[in-house]
Structure 1
C-alpha cells in the first residue's frame, strides 16, 4: 500500500494518517512500536510516569522500531516538568499534550525541534493551543475511553476544521475504516484510535481487559468521576457501578477507590477493583487482531472509499 500524502503524514513523517491514542498503562512501548512499524504513529502513554519510568519506555521503543513515535503527556501528571525535560533531552520526535491547557509547554518543545500536537475537547482550547504553536490538533469526542469532554466527535471535528488553520485529527468512537471515512468526510486529515488497539495481540493488557472490549455492546460503558471533576469512560462492571453509587453518597471514598484502578485492570484484569477504560467503540470490536491488520484493514477501506488524499 502506498504512502498517503497529506499534512498529517508529512508533519509526522508516517505512512498512514492513523495515530494510536495516548493511553496510560495500556500504551506501552511494545504496542506503540507495533503501530509505528505498521505505518501509523505509535504513542507511549506516559500517564503519571516519572522521568525514570518514561526513560525505560523510550529506550525500549528505540530497540523495537526506527520509525517515528510520540509521547503523550497529560497536564495532570505530577512529574510533568521532569517528563518535558526528558522528552527534550532524549530528542523524542513527537509530543502529544493532553488533558488540559498545555500552552506553556508548546513553545518550549518546538524550540527544541520536537513536533508538538495537542488533544482538545472544545473549540476554545483548540484556538488557544493553535495560537500557542500546536502543529496539529486532535479533537477528541466524548465517545472516547478514559477522560472525556462533553461534545461528540461528529460535532467537534467539523467545528475545529472550520476555525483552525492547522490540520485536525479526529478521535473518539473510531474503530474501523467506516469510522475513519466518516471522520475524514468531516474534514479531519487523520484519525486516532485507542480502544481498537487494546484488542490486539501486541497490546500487553490482561486478557480480561481485551475480553471485556470484545464482549461489550455499544451501551456497555459508564462514566465515572463526574462529580469529582474528572469524568472518565470505562467498561460497565460491578466496580464501575459501585463507583457511580459512591459518587452520590461519598465522593471522597469514590476517589480513593479509583486510585490505581486502571493499573489493576491492565495488569491483573481485576473486575472487582479495576477500571477498564474504553470507548463506546468497544461495541464495534468483535475480535482480537494484529496491529498490522487493524491498520491495513482501516486503510483499505479508506482508500476504496477515496478518502486517502
Structure 2
C-alpha cells in the first residue's frame, strides 16, 4: 500500500511504531523495520553512548529505514541531532515540537523530520518551520496525552497542513488504518499494539497485565508527574492519587536521583531540562520536580517487571488487545485486514472507494 508516508520514508507499509521509553529498543525497532513498517528508537532514556550503540545495533539487524525519537527540550538535543546525522538515520521523530534550527539542520543533512503533536496549532507551527510530516495523537493514546479524541483532532490537522499526517491514538488493526486513510491521513502510528508483541522486550508478567485489562482499566491521571498521563490503573496509581503533595515530591526527588545515575546526566543538565520543560508547558516548580517520577516508574515496570512498583503507560486499545503476535505477523495482519476492508467497501452497492484509495 503506497501512501505519502511510504514514499517519504521508504517503507513498504504506512504503519509507524512509536518511540516508547524503555520499550522501543533495538530488538523491537529492527523487527518492525524488517516487517516493512517504520520503527522508531526511544532515546530519551539513553545516554549518548548508549544511543549510538543502539542505532548501530538496529542498522546491523536490518537494511530497512528506521527513526530515532528525541526530546526537543533536552539540553543535549543538538548533540543527539548530530549523532543521528553522523550515523545516517533516516527519520528524526520528536516528542515535542523541535525548534526551527533543529529542523533545518536535520533537513539539510537529508534526515526526514516527523514531530509528534497533540494540537492543530502545533502541527501548523512545525509545518511552517519545514517539518516533512507530522504524527498527531488524540486523547486515546498512551503516555502523556491531550483531551481531544483522534476522530476530532485528526481531520482538523489534515485540513490545516499540506504535509503527510500520521494518525495516532486508538489504532491497533487494519480497520483503523482504513479509517485513518479515509480521514486523509497517510498512515497510522501505534505504541501499545507494538508493545504487546513477542518481539517486545517488556517482561511477560507486565504483558499479562496489559492483556488482562479492559477498556475501563485504562485511566488518565496527573498523580505521576503532574501532567495528564494515560496508563493502566493499578494499586500503585491509586496510592499515588491518595498521597499528599509533600509525599509525592519526596518520591520525585528519589526518582530524579535514580534517573540521573542511569542516564549519566549531571544535576545541572537535569535542572536545565526542567527549566525547558517548565517554560514549554507552563508548569509549576512542583510539577517539574514531579516529572522526574516518569522515567523511573516506567522503568520499574517495563524493564524490571515490577508492576507493584512501576507504572504502565497504555493507550485505550490495551482493553481490546488479547494476543502477542510477532511484529511481522502484526503488520501482515493489519495490511491484510485493511485490504479486505477496502475491497468490501469498493464492492458494496454504491461503493465509494477502490484499492487505490491512499494517495
Query: Offset of 1:150 from its aligned partner?
Result: 2.1
Q: Hey, what's the Cα distance between the residues in 2 that align with 1:92 and 1:247?
A: 44
Could you list the per-position Cα deviations for residues 99-149 of structure 1 after superposition, in whole angstroms to 9, with x for gaps in the alignment?
Answer: 345433111110111011110000001000000111111111111111112
Counterpart residue number, 2:304: 268
Contact 1:227–1:247 (8 Å) recurs in 2: no
Residue 55 of structure 2 is aligned to residue 19 of structure 1: no
Structure 1 residues 246 and 182: alpha-carbon distance in aligned structure 2, compared to 1, 3 A threshold? farther
Query: Offset of 1:251 from its aligned partner?
Result: 4.6
Contact 1:102–1:118 (8 Å) recurs in 2: no
Q: How does 1:283-294 map to 2 (within 5 A)?
A: 283-294=319-330
Q: How does 1:134-283 map to 2 (within 5 A)?
A: 134-225=131-222, 228-246=225-243, 250-253=247-250, 255-256=252-253, 258-259=293-294, 260-283=296-319
Q: Hey, what's the Cα distance between the residues in 2 that align with 1:21 and 1:304?
A: 25
Q: Extract unaligned runs of 5+ from structure 1.
A: none
Query: Offset of 1:226 from its aligned partner?
Result: 6.3
Q: Hey, what's the Cα distance between the residues in 1 that align with 2:235 and 2:229?
A: 16
Contact 1:98–1:118 (8 Å) recurs in 2: yes
Counterpart residue number, 2:46: 49
Structure 1 residues 61 and 167: alpha-carbon distance in aligned structure 2, compared to 1, 3 A threshold? same
Could you list the per-position Cα deviations for residues 46-74 of structure 1 after superposition, in whole angstroms to 9, with x for gaps in the alignment?
Answer: 12322111011011101110000000112
Q: Hey, what's the Cα distance between the residues in 2 that align with 1:163 and 1:279?
A: 25
Match of 1:296 among 332, 335, 355: 332
Specify which structure has the bigger relative contact order, considering alpha-carbon pairs within 8 angstroms and separated by 6 or more residues: 2
Contact 2:223–2:240 (8 Å) recurs in 1: no
TM-score, normalisation: structure 1? 0.93
Q: Hey, what's the Cα distance between the residues in 2 that align with 1:224 and 1:139?
A: 21
**Greater CA drift, 59-68 or 219-228:** 219-228
Residue 117 of structure 2 is aligned to residue 120 of structure 1: yes
Q: Extract unaligned runs of 5+ from structure 2.
A: 256-292, 343-354
Residue 65 of structure 2 is aligned to residue 29 of structure 1: no
Could you list the per-position Cα deviations for residues 253-304 of structure 1 after superposition, in whole angstroms to 9, with x for gaps in the alignment?
Answer: 4644625111111112112211111111101101111111111111111112
Aligned residue pair count: 306
Contact 1:36–1:65 (8 Å) recurs in 2: yes
**3-state DSSP of counterpart to 1:71:** strand
Query: Offset of 1:192 from its aligned partner?
Result: 0.3
Structure 1 residues 80 and 50: alpha-carbon distance in aligned structure 2, compared to 1, 3 A threshold? farther
Counterpart residue number, 1:64: 61
**3-state DSSP of counterpart to 2:189:** strand
Q: Hey, what's the Cα distance between the residues in 2 that align with 1:285 and 1:228?
A: 27
Q: Hey, what's the Cα distance between the residues in 2 that align with 1:242 and 1:154?
A: 33
- Superposed CA RMSD: 1.8
Query: Offset of 1:229 from its aligned partner?
Result: 4.4
Contact 1:145–1:172 (8 Å) recurs in 2: yes
Larger Rg: 2
Q: Hey, what's the Cα distance between the residues in 1 that align with 2:87 and 2:244?
A: 41
Counterpart residue number, 2:351: none
